[in-house]
Amino acid sequence: MKGLTGKNVLVTGATSGIGQAIAVRFAEEGANVAINYRRSPEDAQDTVEMAMQKACGKLEKCGVKALPVQGDVSKEEDIINMVNTVVEKFGSLDILVNNAGIQTESPSHEIKTEEFDRVININLRGAYLCAREAIKHFLNNKINGIIINVSSVHEIIPRPLYVSYSISKGGMGNLTKTLALEYADSGIRVNSIAPGATITPINSAWIDDPDAKAAVESNIPMKRAGTPEEMAAAVAFLSSDEATYITGQTLFIDGGLTLYPSFSEPWTS
Ligand code: NAD
């Protein structure tokens, strides 16, 4: 994809699932990737190896760097340290991908305040604070920086029993638009991808159970879940020089899930 070689990228929550695929895809495109993990550097090892394998193939060394970087995105201090570390090790930061996210299930009238706060603090406040630190760096260094937020179809589809998750992704849609508008004339682009049901560990409740998986997939117009690689391809596109006039947008990648599937057969005249 045009314009990604040599770029310095930070992907939060890059130890598994969509974040891992995004980091690997950037390395494949010739970008240096900082692979954020929360607890142990071991957690980032698989992503580092996959990224280097894609970037260098059989060569023992190539120009691409894959750097594990610690940071709990619910902690402001960790975020500041994480962005500083990436800038120090890579020399600069060009692209931030806010991917880290969690979800918890509870009836909305029973959710504990701490549980609610935990989801918002990781999914929304964390994404904002990472963006804030990246934007400071972009402005101070006159970088035409790029931010991609990993939102969800639940940015627009209400999700009962997951109110904190729904709010966090709805907020992420407005975070994307607000930052895009505020910094458009500084050459900074901000966009989101909104995955539908995707085969990753966050969906362990159904991906390994054939009946549950079939039930989920029966609701998707394309009749299958998405892959992390399909999400990563859209992130690469939005970050590339093929997308230089796109800002403030959420790209839904969902096999048609946001197309009101129940209207696929007429049920009213
Ligand atoms: P996942 O559980 O594999 O990935 C989540 C990542 O976030 C993990 O690497 C985890 O370690 C990291 N993380 C969690 N808390 C963190 C914290 N405090 N600090 C730093 N990292 C933290 O699941 P995934 O499906 O790959 O999810 C990635 C993103 O995609 C999430 O934002 C999720 O909401 C979004 N998403 C996923 C789906 C889906 O169906 N899989 C659909 C829509 C949106």
Q: How confident is the model at residue 269 (pLDDT cuts 50, 70, 90)?
A: confident
C-alpha to C-alpha distance for 235 and 226, rounded to whole angstroms: 14
Best mutation site among 11, 16, 103, 258 for ligand 1, i.e. most ligand atoms within 8 A of its Cβ?
16
Residue 133, pLDDT > 90, answer yes
**What's the pLDDT score for residue 268?**
84
Residue 60, pLDDT > 80, answer no
Q: Which two tokens stand for residue 163?
A: 């109110």
C-alpha to C-alpha distance for 7 and 191, rounded to whole angstroms: 18
pTM over 0.75: yes
Residue with tokens 């050459």: 187
Ligand 1 nearest atom to the CA of residue 228, by list position: 26
> Which ranges in the chain belong to alpha helices (H)?
17-28, 42-56, 76-90, 113-120, 126-140, 163-183, 204-207, 210-218, 228-239
Q: How far is the CA of 141 from the centre of ligand 1 (A)?
A: 30
Q: Classify 217 as helix, strand or coil.
A: helix
Q: Which residue in the list 128, 162, 165, 183 is annotated as catalytic?
A: 165
C-alpha to C-alpha distance for 33 and 27, rounded to whole angstroms: 6
Is the distance from CB of 26 to CB of 33 less than 8 angstroms?
A: yes
Residues 6+ apart with CB under 8 A from 42: none
Residue with tokens 């305040």: 113
Q: Which CATH architecture has domain 8-253?
A: 3-Layer(aba) Sandwich (3.40)
% of the chain exceeding 90 in pLDDT: 96
- Residue among 155, 185, 125 at smallest CA distance from 250: 155
Residue 1, pLDDT > 80, answer yes
Residue 59, pLDDT > 90, answer no
Residue 268 one-letter amino acid: T
C-alpha to C-alpha distance for 205 and 224, rounded to whole angstroms: 16
165: annotated active-site residue: yes
- Residue among 225, 229, 212, 233 at smallest CA distance from 254: 225
* Domain residue spans of the chain: 8-253
pLDDT digits (tens, 9 = 90+) for 71-96: 999 999 999 999 999 999 999 999 99
Q: How far is the CA of 267 from the centre of ligand 1 (A)?
A: 36
Cβ atoms within 10 A of the Cβ of 141, count? Answer: 12
